[in-house]
Structure 1
Amino acid sequence: MASPTETTTPLRCLTGALVAGTLGILLYRLTQAIAYSFTTHPLHSQSQIAQSLSVAIRTLVVGLSTMATGIFGLAALGLIGLGIQLMLQPKSISPQDSQD
């Protein structure tokens, strides 16, 4: 947890956005690789139960990977937006600064 003396700065927001964006891109590439692997290696089974379970598990794996990609992408966009807002926002004087 951040200490009370640490403030949110545009640089910290953009650094966080860079990290989240990098993780989002890496997860996107991982999702593509997983989907490609599932497509090129189909299950060869005559059992309907095995095929149904395979489809369910593959959908779950690709879905979770896609969800993680989206979360990191949205976090990066939100941090970029916060950084822009902090750059455009006029500096406010805190009560502690006015007492000095």
Structure 2
Amino acid sequence: MSEPNATQQTDSQTQAQITPLRCVTGSVISGGLAFAAYSLMIAIATTFANKPIHSDNPIVLNIASAVRTLVVGMTALASGVFGIVAVGLLALGIQLLFQQFAKRQS
């Protein structure tokens, strides 16, 4: 019965400290992933544009168009999410840096 209390105490003790360096490092990693996802999206879209669908069946054309749109859309979504995370982490790091300077001056 005393185990839940012990796990709650260890969870609160093992939380990492948020520092501007960790925020900037996370921002750089997330920005790199955003750039990689963007590059992948451009490569996929270029490949799809260079290889048209050769069919006369309208159902095949509709399904192929939907699949191509979904693939490009998912990579665009990934690049957008990672980009927003990178900007947010960078802003958090700057905010923490200003708070540290304000604390030192007071």
Shorter-chain TM range is 0.7 to 0.9
The runs of 4+ residues in structure 1 deviating greater than 4 Å are: none
- Unaligned runs of 5+ residues in structure 1 are 93-100
Length, aligned pairs only: 91
Distance 2:73 2:37 in 1: 12
Distance 2:21 2:84 in 1: 18
Structure 1 residue 35 and structure 2 residue 40: aligned? no
- Unaligned runs of 5+ residues in structure 2 are 1-10
**Alignment correspondent of 1:58:** 68
The alpha-carbon deviation at position 54 of structure 1 amounts to 0.5
Structure 1 residue 19 and structure 2 residue 66: aligned? no
Residue identity (%):
44
Q: TM-score scaled by structure 1?
A: 0.86
Of 89, 92, 98, which aligns to 1:82? 92
Higher helix share: 2
**Alignment correspondent of 1:9:** 19
The alpha-carbon deviation at position 91 of structure 1 amounts to 3.5
Aligned-residue Cα RMSD (Å) equals 1.7
**Alignment correspondent of 1:95:** none
Distance 2:52 2:39 in 1: 20
